[in-house]
Amino acid sequence: MKSWLLGVGLLLTNLAFGQTIQDGLHMMDRHQPSRAKQVFEGLVAAQPTGENYFYLGYYFLNQRDWDNARKAFEAGKAADPKNYLNQVGLASILVGQNKVNDAKVEFDRILAETKNKNIDVMYRIAEAYSMYYILGKEDSFNANNNDPAEAIRLIDLIQDRMMKDKKLPTAEHYIVKGDAYLIKNDGGNAVTAYENAIAQEPRNIKAKVKIGTVYLRGKNYKETQVRYKEAIDLDSNYAPALRKYGEYLIVGSQYKNASRYFRRYLEKAEATPQVTLETAKLLFLSKDYDGAMKFTDEADKKGVQDNDIYRMRGYSNVEMGNFQQGIDNLDGMVKRGVKPYFMDDLYFGKGYQGLGKDSLALLYLERAAPLDTNNNVYSIIHDVRYKQKRYADAAAAGMNAIQWKVKKSQTVGSGDYFKVAMDYYLTSAFINKADTIARPAMAMRADSMFAKAIEINDKWPPFYINRARANNLIDYTGTKWLGAPYYEKFLAAVETQRAEKGQYKEDKNQLFEAYKFLGGYHLSVTKDEAKVKELFTKAQEIKPDDVDIKAYFNPTPAGAPVAPKK
């Protein structure tokens, strides 16, 4: 029995020695935390050194498991009091807990005691100053959990020291420097640092992915794609690259392809409960709502502790048209006391809108709109108000939707202006004709919006005929014929659409309206009888029984009795 136990002990020791710290770090980088944990625990079991304890603690740091990180670092400190890495680890916990100033006191003490000569200590302190910052997270999350300037200063000190020994910093040193510059929103220097990492290690996939992220943040989508594809070509199993490439595809509205990469990501990364839920969220963003529901359910079965379970079910059901189920899930979340989020209001609104409860929908949508930086909720509010025939309110929402796009540096299309123009036009049309101030003034606002739409797209016939109608409202006396030039442009645009075989579907009633109006214009203003006859003939071909057109072609003889009007 003793021999057997000794043999098993030696076998376990040999297995542990077969795996290294680098193996554990490699698995962490590839989003395989459980395998990384096994490596570090195996190393500690085989050799409970200060260094091995530090890397076990480092694993827990990355999982934001402060208690277990502290236990590992304390054990490492006891095992090897002269190894300062575990003291760095203990101070790093404070950074992760948004206490960077408290951590700095400890870091400065450690640097002083090691006389700025311990490269590993300097590197891990620099890393701690940048590792907890997450791009895109709210300010409250990133408050006091970073000090990029100090991280850069320490990496520069490392570089100075190593170059004295005719050595260069490692790729990981440069990556930390790049991360620090990215926190400072200095993309140029960040890319330079990551490129230096690649110069040191040409197959460094992490650096390539990070360069892609810098370009994505700077909206240089061509370079983003190049860098992400380079990383995937180097290693198609590198999970972070698959995820990041999927995020890039979402930005380009390539939702189906994005979904494919997110599913591949989950195949290559470890499908922990949290990763499964995060993938469900990414699938939701890629409009793969079935996949989002599937992986949300899987995360729930795996025991994930996250309130977003309710959100994902609520949001996905609403998007799939299961409006009542979506609202029920969101209601259940609220009843559990979950802290509200503006997206909850958006989906409550969309859910109630789907159920036809527009007034209730607006209550939630108007609350979400000013806070939502991802979705142009004002455009949804516009459509609900338009449906309710609240055209003035719809116009206000439409203008807010345009301003939202401007603030987000998004393209404002002709359709955006056309919507608001129609809102103003209909508002004007419903103002009493006797109001010769407010009615024309509102029509003039419509006219200016139609003009903006035409500036962007001068080939779309509906822009012109509706602008003509707005000008008819401006011309409240009916004597200035202000709509004439726009009816002419409407007919010209229709001819262009015919020639180009465009998407426009002709409306005979609109053509009749234009022919009749222009015929009347030439009859009253230009006195061009040939033009009048041409236009009225075209109008009569559409509506042969129109009284006015018939009267033109068949005038009542002078002195003949006039039929009484019915």
| Contact (Cβ atoms closer than 8 angstroms) between residue 532 and residue 516 | no
Q: What is the pLDDT of residues 369-423, one digit of tens each?
A: 999 988 999 999 999 999 999 999 999 999 999 999 999 999 999 999 999 999 9
Q: How far apart are CA 222 and CA 354, in angstroms?
A: 38
* CA-based end-to-end distance of the chain: 117
Rounded to an integer, the average pLDDT of 9-27 is 67
Please tell me the predicted confidence (pLDDT) of residue 190.
97
Q: What is the pLDDT of residues 152-183, one digit of tens each?
A: 999 999 999 998 888 888 999 999 999 999 99
| Contact (Cβ atoms closer than 8 angstroms) between residue 313 and residue 329 | yes
Q: What is the pLDDT of residues 450-461, one digit of tens each?
A: 999 999 999 999
Q: Average pLDDT, whole number, for the chain? A: 92
Please tell me the predicted confidence (pLDDT) of residue 341.
85
> Does the structure show a pLDDT above 90 at 18?
no
pLDDT band at 546 (very low <50, low <70, confident <90, very high): very high
Please tell me the predicted confidence (pLDDT) of residue 557.
67
Residues contacting 375, CB < 8 A, separation 6+? 346
Please tell me the predicted confidence (pLDDT) of residue 65.
95
Cα 18 to Cα 5, 45, 51: the distances in Å are 20, 13, 17
> Does the structure show a pLDDT above 70 at 556?
yes
pLDDT band at 260 (very low <50, low <70, confident <90, very high): very high
Tokens describing residue 277? 């839920």
pLDDT band at 563 (very low <50, low <70, confident <90, very high): very low
Altogether, the residues listed in the chain come to a count of 566
> Does the structure show a pLDDT above 70 at 6?
no
How many C-beta atoms surround the C-beta of residue 267 within 10 A? Answer: 10
Q: Please list, residue by residue across 75-99, b when 16 or more beta carbons sit within 10 angstroms of its beta carbon and e when fewer do.
A: bbbebbeebbbbbbbbbbbbbbebe
Q: How far apart are CA 371 and CA 131, in angstroms?
A: 28
Q: How far apart are CA 540 and CA 512, in angstroms?
A: 8
How many C-beta atoms surround the C-beta of residue 368 within 10 A? Answer: 23
Chain-centroid distance of CA 145 in Å reads 24
Please tell me the predicted confidence (pLDDT) of residue 336.
87
Q: What is the pLDDT of residues 96-153, one digit of tens each?
A: 999 999 999 999 999 999 999 999 999 999 999 999 999 888 888 899 999 999 999 9
| Contact (Cβ atoms closer than 8 angstroms) between residue 294 and residue 288 | no
Q: How far apart are CA 471 and CA 446, in angstroms?
A: 9
Q: How far apart are CA 361 and CA 130, in angstroms?
A: 42
Q: What angle do CA 245, 247, 251 make, to 5 degrees?
A: 115
Q: Half-sphere exposure (CA, 13 Å, Cβ side) for 545?
A: 0
The backbone torsions φ and ψ at residue 408, rounded to the nearest 5 degrees and listed phi first, read -90, 5
Please tell me the predicted confidence (pLDDT) of residue 8.
40
Alpha helix (H) ranges present in 165-307?
171-183, 187-200, 205-217, 221-234, 239-251, 255-268, 273-285, 289-301
pLDDT band at 300 (very low <50, low <70, confident <90, very high): very high
pLDDT band at 559 (very low <50, low <70, confident <90, very high): low
How many C-beta atoms surround the C-beta of residue 256 within 10 A? Answer: 10
> Does the structure show a pLDDT above 70 at 518?
yes
Amino acid of residue 491: L
| Contact (Cβ atoms closer than 8 angstroms) between residue 66 and residue 93 | yes
> Does the structure show a pLDDT above 80 at 46?
yes
| Contact (Cβ atoms closer than 8 angstroms) between residue 288 and residue 269 | no
| Contact (Cβ atoms closer than 8 angstroms) between residue 57 and residue 86 | yes
Q: Please list, residue by residue across 210-223, b when 16 or more beta carbons sit within 10 angstroms of its beta carbon and e when fewer do.
A: bbbbbbbeeeeeee
Three-state SS annotation for 148-178: HHHHHHHHHHHHHHHHHCCCCCCHHHHHHHH
pLDDT band at 79 (very low <50, low <70, confident <90, very high): very high
The predicted model scores a pTM of 0.73
How many C-beta atoms surround the C-beta of residue 109 within 10 A? Answer: 13
> Does the structure show a pLDDT above 50 at 13?
no
pLDDT band at 470 (very low <50, low <70, confident <90, very high): very high
H or E element: which one contains 311? helix 308-319
Please tell me the predicted confidence (pLDDT) of residue 415.
97
Please tell me the predicted confidence (pLDDT) of residue 167.
87
pLDDT band at 61 (very low <50, low <70, confident <90, very high): very high
If phi > 0 it is left, if psi is from -120 to 50 it is alpha, else beta; for residue 116 that is left
Q: Please list, residue by residue across 35-55, b when 16 or more beta carbons sit within 10 angstroms of its beta carbon and e when fewer do.
A: ebbebbbbbbebeeebbbbbb
Q: What angle do CA 46, 51, 56 make, to 5 degrees?
A: 70
Selected residue with higher pLDDT from 121 and 253:
121
Q: What is the pLDDT of residues 332-358, one digit of tens each?
A: 999 988 888 889 999 999 999 999 999
pLDDT band at 5 (very low <50, low <70, confident <90, very high): very low
How many C-beta atoms surround the C-beta of residue 553 within 10 A? Answer: 10
Please tell me the predicted confidence (pLDDT) of residue 448.
98
Residues contacting 87, CB < 8 A, separation 6+? 73, 77, 106, 110
> Does the structure show a pLDDT above 50 at 14?
no
Rounded to an integer, the average pLDDT of 531-544 is 96
Q: What is the pLDDT of residues 269-299, one digit of tens each?
A: 999 888 999 999 999 989 999 999 999 999 9
